[in-house]
């Protein structure tokens, strides 16, 4: 009974707050002559700050037109904005900027949804060695990362040199399908210098400097062994496929909205996602070195900490995860 009363009381408070909020919006609208969407556009600079607020305002609106706006086809965005302006009785001639701003935000919102669908499709498409296109991409990855040493054959131990597990990479793509290959190839082709550097470092056993006092007593053989134990290289391609998983989960959870709404002036596209992957590879590499793990067994721990760090960064509405090479290519909405 007590429990029931408590729930009832909470429900009443909820209704009351909702009522207060609606009344507040009504009063503000009467006083300022502006509706909520207008106020959001006037009070927030373009990018994630504005688009995130518009998105939640549309989603929680009581008007069906506004609620369904976030699901329209990109081709219908312009028409939808016209209908919203008409519904809100906003004169487009006296508020020309408002229509443009709303349209840009709505394109970002529906573009993000489409990007999730596109990325999901690539992730579900398995690597197929009968498919010529897939095979060509894989060979191109080799050529870009190892221009000086030709592959001895399609099935070769050499694949391990770029961090695959065995002599045929196809099995390594299982978790992320074609998406993993797309990302690795994009990184190798469009951010080549960084990709080569990361690959090079990942193959190097890193030696932790052991202080003199510690070494004075151990024999040379022991010293060599100790150095070997401190090797913390990792498998480039395998880690690339795993960081694809990380980028994918950031996208699907919606956490990447902050970043994409800040870097894509209109619809975010696959290229934006791939550039995010380049950034994550570079940052993960840096993070891995800083964390100084003893060996690859610590991958899980380091990855979790990295994931948390990125999630925290994305809580800041001004955040953009830009790889160094892209900052000038992207016409940043807001930085
Ligand atoms: C080095 O070895 C000697 C004798 O083997 C021992 O007395 C000394 O404490 C050792 N020093 C260190 C730093 O372990
Ligand atoms: C990536 O690594 C994490 C943690 O080790 C694991 O849970 C996840 O399944 C891996 N993803 C892929 C695609 O291998």
* Number of structural domains in the chain: 3
Residues 100 and 146 in one domain: no
Specify the ligand 1 atom closest to the Cα of 216: 13
Which ligand is nearest to the Cα of residue 180, counting in written order?
2
The number of beta carbons lying within 10 Å of the beta carbon of residue 274 is 25
Integer CA distances (angstroms), 238 to 134, 173, 274, in order: 18, 9, 17
SS3 (DSSP) at 175: coil
The pTM (predicted TM-score) of the whole model is 0.81
- 61 occurs within a structural domain: yes
Nearest atom in ligand 2 to the alpha carbon of residue 245 is 13
Atom of ligand 2 nearest to the CA of 174: 13
Q: Tell me, yes or no, whether 14 and 62 share the same domain.
A: no
Contact assessment for residue 112 and residue 152, using Cβ atoms and an 8 Å cutoff: no
Ligand nearest to the CA of 298: 2
Low-confidence ranges of the chain (pLDDT < 50): 207-212, 228-231, 328, 331, 333-335
DSSP H/E element including 15: helix 2-32
**Cα–ligand 2 centroid distance for 187 (angstroms):** 20
Cβ contacts of 302 within 8 Å, gap of 6 or more: 287, 288, 291, 293
User: What is the reported pLDDT for 219?
Assistant: 62
pLDDT at residue 221, as a whole number: 60
- Angstrom distance (rounded) from CA 92 to CA 221: 80
- Does residue 285 lie in a domain region? yes
Residue 80 lies in a domain: yes
Token readout for 256 is 């990447």
Q: Residue 89 and residue 105: Cα distance in Å, rounded?
A: 20
Burial classification of residue 25, based on how many CB atoms lie within 10 Å of its CB (0-12 exposed, 13-18 middle, 19 or more buried): middle
Half-sphere exposure of 160 toward its Cβ, with a 13 Å CA cutoff? Answer: 6
Report residue 8: phi and psi, to 5°: -60, -45
- In terms of domains, do 310 and 167 share one? yes
Nearest to 48 by CA among 256, 278, 271, 250: 256
- Residue 20 located in a structural domain: yes
Atom of ligand 2 nearest to the CA of 238: 14
Question: How far does residue 303's CA lie from ligand 2's centre (Å)?
Answer: 9
- Whether residue 326 lies inside any domain: the answer is no
Regarding whether 60 and 20 lie in a shared domain, the answer is no
* 33 Cα: distance to centroid of ligand 2 (angstroms): 52
Asked if residue 325 belongs to a domain, the reply is no
CB 204 within 8 A of CB 133: no
Note whether residue 54 is domain-resident: yes
HSE value, Cβ hemisphere, 13 Å, CA-based, for 250: 28
Q: Are residues 167 and 264 in the same domain?
A: yes
Cα of 159 to ligand 2 centre, how many Å? 20
Pocket of ligand 2 (CB under 6 A): 175-176, 241-242, 245, 299-300, 303
Give every CB contact of residue 236 below 8 A, 6+ residues apart in sequence. 162, 163, 198, 199, 202, 203
Which of 59, 84, 114 is the last residue in one of the domains? 114
Residue 178 and residue 307 in one domain = yes
Rounded to an integer, what distance in angstroms lies between the CA atom of residue 166 and that of residue 158? 9
Last residue of a domain, one of 114, 144, 162: 114
Indicate if 48 and 189 belong to the same structural domain. Answer: no
Q: What is residue 220's predicted lDDT score, i.e. its pLDDT? A: 61
Do 183 and 44 sit in the same domain of this protein? no
Burial of 169 (0-12, 13-18, 19+ CB in 10 A): buried
Tokens of 288: 């891995």
* 177 and 249 both lie in a single domain: yes
Residues having CB within 6 Å of any atom of ligand 1: 213, 217
Q: How far does the centroid of ligand 2 lie from the alpha carbon of residue 236, in Å?
A: 14
For residue 242, the CA-to-ligand 2 centroid distance in Å is 6
Cα first-last separation, the chain: 55
**Ligand showing the shortest atom-to-Cα distance for residue 218:** 1
Contacts of 251 (CB under 8 A, 6+ apart): 115, 116, 119, 273
pLDDT at 205: 66
Q: Domain of 24?
A: 1-33
Domain membership flag for residue 292? yes
Which of 217, 219, 222, 223 gets mutated to test ligand 1 (max ligand atoms within 8 A of its CB)?
217
Residues 142 and 261 in one domain: yes
Instruction: Classify residue 296 by burial, with Cβ atoms within 10 Å: 0-12, 13-18, 19+.
Output: middle
Q: Which atom of ligand 2 is nearest to the CA of 299?
A: 5
For the chain, the 3-state helix, strand and coil shares in percent, each to the nearest 5, are: 70, 0, 30
Same domain for 209 and 163?
Answer: yes
Give yes or no: residues 259 and 279 share one domain. Answer: yes
């Amino acid at each position: 009974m007590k429990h029931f009363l408590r729930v009832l009381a909470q429900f009443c408070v909820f209704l009351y707050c909702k009522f207060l909020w609606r009344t507040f919006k009504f009063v503000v609208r009467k006083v300022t002559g502006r509706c909520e969407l207008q106020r959001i556009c006037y009070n927030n600079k373009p990018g994630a700050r504005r688009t995130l607020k518009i998105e939640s305002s549309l989603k929680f609106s009581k008007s069906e037109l506004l609620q369904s706006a976030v699901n329209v086809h990109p081709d219908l965005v312009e028409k939808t904005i016209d209908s919203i302006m008409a519904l809100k009785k906003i004169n487009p001639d006296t508020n020309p900027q408002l229509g443009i701003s709303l349209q840009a935000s709505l394109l970002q919102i529906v573009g993000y949804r489409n990007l999730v669908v596109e990325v999901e499709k690539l992730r579900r498409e398995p690597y197929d060695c009968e498919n010529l296109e897939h095979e060509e991409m894989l060979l191109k990855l080799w050529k870009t990362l190892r221009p000086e040493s030709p592959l001895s054959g399609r099935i070769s131990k050499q694949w391990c040199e770029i961090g695959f597990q065995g002599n045929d990479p196809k099995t390594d793509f299982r978790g992320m399908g074609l998406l993993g290959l797309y990302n690795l190839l994009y990184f190798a082709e469009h951010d080549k210098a960084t990709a080569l550097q990361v690959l090079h470092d990942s193959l190097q056993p890193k030696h932790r400097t052991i202080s003199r006092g510690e070494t004075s007593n151990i024999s040379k053989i022991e010293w060599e062994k100790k150095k070997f134990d401190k090797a913390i290289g990792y498998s480039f391609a395998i880690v690339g496929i795993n960081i694809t998983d990380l980028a994918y989960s950031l996208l699907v959870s919606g956490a990447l909205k902050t970043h994409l709404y800040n870097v894509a002036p209109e619809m975010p596209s696959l290229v934006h996602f791939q550039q995010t992957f380049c950034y994550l590879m570079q940052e993960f590499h840096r993070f891995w070195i800083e964390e100084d793990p003893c060996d690859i067994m610590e991958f899980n721990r380091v990855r979790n900490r990295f994931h948390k760090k990125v999630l925290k960064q994305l809580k800041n509405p001004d955040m953009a995860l830009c790889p160094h090479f892209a900052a000038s290519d992207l016409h940043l909405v807001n930085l």
